[in-house]
Chains A and B, each alone.
Chain A
Amino acid sequence: MRDSPTTNGCSRRSVLGSATAVGLTALAGCLGTPGILDGVTDDENAVAEGPPTVDRSFPQEYTIEELNDANLSDGPGQDGIPSIDDPQFAPSDEPPANLEGGDPVFGVELNGEAKAYPQYTLVWHEIVNDVVGGESVAVTYCPLTGTAQGFYRGESELGVSGRLINSNLVMFDRGTETWWPQILALGIRGPHEGEYLEEFQVVWTTWDRWREQYPETAVLTEDTGHIRNYGDDPYGEYNPRRGYYENDNTLFAPLATDDRFPMKAVVIGARNADGAMAVPKDTLRERTVVEGTMSETPYVTVYDEALDTGYVYRNPDGKSVEADEGTVVVDGDSYESNALPLEREIGFDAMWFAWYGYYPSTVVHE
């Protein structure tokens, strides 16, 4: 079993928030006595809570006002694209009939539990509120930007707001109704404005690759509680790639554009206090180890051939990192690509136009 990134503990709950509960809890908070008002139970107070936030420092290329001004409705209203709130899973040897070996899945491994979320299901829902390895999490996917990201959700649930910024999914939490653009992980409207969600690594891979690495994985089924034409992607297809996922058209104008790569070229993006960086996935496949710097700090991205993914590491001491016959050698010792003795950053696949649109100051490591 592979090592998992460090995570924080959160407990499970799955009840919708209500405006009344939010208001009452806010008032109770002002009075300094949560639950002081008649009829407000502990559970109702819990409902009004948002997801846990963390101190992070990401490059902010746009003000919150600019981000709010850039939001557009993509047609459906709030929850018009319904998240999956009671996900059902099957064992790896009984996957959904529509799931082929080469189909993309979003793999999550937390505290020893592995789960796969097929892209063809998430394209209709975009968010799964789930519990993995005892952690309350939301696995999120934006079809228009090709981004799959995981967030700790605490006592709240995340839903699809029906808004887009830079073609990217804007989530909302059902506890406080704060808006959270997915790629930015930043609250831009509501009680958590200016705060960041806590993320965990989601691996964009294929079903065959994930199942090979995690034979005990569970896989999300089509029993989502909603009726959809699963197996038919409204935007195109990944296996093989065609339609929106392959062409150079975007549905909305990006916030910023750059022609170094095709619009839908896949990059592995990472951002932190040092800045934002992107590694073209084709380059990573070819070179296995890609080095570069952000704010003069060395970074290294290593390719995991088994899962066709990459991991981004901060390498402040400039240790020697080299690929060697399926393993990665760091200062003379061999390691698995996902377990280097360096500080691992959250990195995820993104379409180039979306990454650059949000982070025009991004550096590219090639």
Chain B
Amino acid sequence: MSTTGRLAGWLNPRSRIEETIAATLLVVRRYDSLAVATAVVIGYLVAFLWAVGDLAVRPDVAANLIVIDDPLSRMFDRTGPASFEAVAMVDTGVVRILISPVNAAIGLLLAGLVGVNLGLTYLAVVQPAACGIGAGSGLLASFPALLSGTVCCGPVVLIALGIQARGLMLTMFVWLLPVGIGLLLVSQVYVAGKIDVAGAST
């Protein structure tokens, strides 16, 4: 594709969306990229749930299951800017899982976006549209994910790092999740444009 053609493609939203959808579908159609994306989704989801406090190693607690009263209405109660009440707890004798459906949904959304981004990055490296793509795009994809991942446990992260919070910083925490999701979507569109979908499909 010529430089003029590529520029025209970038400026055509419809073309960009179709290109992104095609590249995203390619990630799930190819075994190698699907394996990359799946591993990232699982890894990110586990890390996210641990960071928000919904997953912990608790070998000291016997296996048990607790469900609170009226879970359907209470699952939407906020415990932070982007964290929500757990409605059940599973102790396996090794790990403790707090089941917060909304936290899990947010985690799955983020993990899915990060997985697709890194799956696309993998394809862009093995099947570049033009001049290839480096590891930088992978970092580009992972940064917003890390950013948004801190939102659910912001003040606790500050305590762990020994950072003193200011009013502006606390306001910023509220925006981390939507900003992170937005950056992941932009990253997805950007990386998708680096892939030769037709070549990779054949």
Residue pair A229, B96 in contact (C-beta under 8 Å): yes
B60-81 contact mask (Cβ, 8 Å, vs A): 1 or 0: 1100001011000000011111
A72-91 contact mask (Cβ, 8 Å, vs B): 1 or 0: 11111101111000000000
Question: Counting CB contacts under 8 A, is A235 at the interface?
Answer: yes
Separation of A311 and B156 alpha carbons in the complex (Å): 34
The one of A80, A231, A250 that contacts B60, using a Cβ cutoff of 8 Å: A231
- Which of B18-26, B123-131, B163-171 lies on the face that meets chain A? B163-171
Question: Contacts A76-B79, A80-B80 hold; do A251 and B68 have CB atoms under 8 A apart?
Answer: no
Question: Counting CB contacts under 8 A, is A111 at the interface?
Answer: no
Separation of A259 and B156 alpha carbons in the complex (Å): 25
Residue pair B79, A80 in contact (C-beta under 8 Å): yes
Residue pair A227, B80 in contact (C-beta under 8 Å): no
How many chain B residues sit at the interface, stated as a range, is: 20 to 34
Residue pair B162, A226 in contact (C-beta under 8 Å): no
Question: Contacts A227-B66, A227-B98, A234-B156 hold; do A75 and B170 have CB atoms under 8 A apart?
Answer: yes
**For window 90-106 of chain B, which residues contact chain A by CB distance below 8 Å?**
96, 98-99
Min CB–CB distance B59 → chain A (angstroms): 12
Separation of A249 and B155 alpha carbons in the complex (Å): 13
The one of B58, B78, B159 that contacts A235, using a Cβ cutoff of 8 Å: B159
When distances are taken between beta carbons in the complex, the residues of chain A under 8 Å from B164 are: 249-253
B160-202 contact mask (Cβ, 8 Å, vs A): 1 or 0: 0011111100100100000000000000000000000000000
**For window 232-283 of chain A, which residues contact chain B by CB distance below 8 Å?**
232, 234-235, 243-244, 247, 249-253
Separation of A306 and B86 alpha carbons in the complex (Å): 39
Min CB–CB distance B171 → chain A (angstroms): 8
Separation of A76 and B87 alpha carbons in the complex (Å): 18
When distances are taken between beta carbons in the complex, the residues of chain B under 8 Å from A82 are: 77, 79
When distances are taken between beta carbons in the complex, the residues of chain B under 8 Å from A76 are: 78-80
Separation of A73 and B98 alpha carbons in the complex (Å): 25
Residue pair B162, A249 in contact (C-beta under 8 Å): yes
Q: Which of A235, A247, A251 has the most chain B CB within a 10 Å cutoff?
A: A251
Separation of A232 and B159 alpha carbons in the complex (Å): 15
When distances are taken between beta carbons in the complex, the residues of chain B under 8 Å from A79 are: 77
Separation of A274 and B98 alpha carbons in the complex (Å): 49
**For window 171-230 of chain A, which residues contact chain B by CB distance below 8 Å?**
225-229
The one of B53, B78, B154, B163 that contacts A229, using a Cβ cutoff of 8 Å: B53
When distances are taken between beta carbons in the complex, the residues of chain A under 8 Å from B163 are: 249
Min CB–CB distance A110 → chain B (angstroms): 29
Residue pair A232, B155 in contact (C-beta under 8 Å): no
Q: Which of B79, B85, B87, B99 has the most chain A CB within a 10 Å cutoff?
A: B79
Residue pair A229, B98 in contact (C-beta under 8 Å): yes
Min CB–CB distance A249 → chain B (angstroms): 4
Chain B's closest residue to A222 (CB) is B66
When distances are taken between beta carbons in the complex, the residues of chain A under 8 Å from B56 are: 229, 232
Min CB–CB distance B90 → chain A (angstroms): 10
Separation of A13 and B159 alpha carbons in the complex (Å): 37
Chain A's closest residue to B158 (CB) is A251
Residue pair B85, A226 in contact (C-beta under 8 Å): yes
Residue pair B170, A72 in contact (C-beta under 8 Å): yes
**For window 61-75 of chain A, which residues contact chain B by CB distance below 8 Å?**
72-75
Q: Which of B68, B99, B170 has the most chain A CB within a 10 Å cutoff?
A: B170
Residue pair A251, B87 in contact (C-beta under 8 Å): no
Residue pair A227, B170 in contact (C-beta under 8 Å): no
Question: Counting CB contacts under 8 A, is B89 at the interface?
Answer: yes
When distances are taken between beta carbons in the complex, the residues of chain B under 8 Å from A74 are: 155, 170
Residue pair A252, B165 in contact (C-beta under 8 Å): yes
Q: List 17 A-B contacts (CB under 8 A).
A: A72-B165, A80-B79, A81-B79, A82-B77, A227-B86, A227-B87, A227-B88, A227-B98, A229-B58, A231-B58, A231-B60, A232-B56, A243-B159, A244-B159, A249-B164, A251-B164, A252-B165
Residue numbers of A with Cβ under 8 A of B are 72-77, 79-82, 97, 225-229, 231-232, 234-235, 243-244, 247, 249-253
4 more A-B residue pairs beyond the given contacts A75-B80, A232-B56, with a C-beta to C-beta distance below 8 A: A73-B170, A80-B80, A229-B56, A231-B58
Per CB-CB distance, the 9 closest pairs between chain A and chain B, nearest first, are: A227-B86, A249-B162, A75-B80, A227-B89, A76-B80, A75-B155, A80-B79, A234-B156, A244-B159
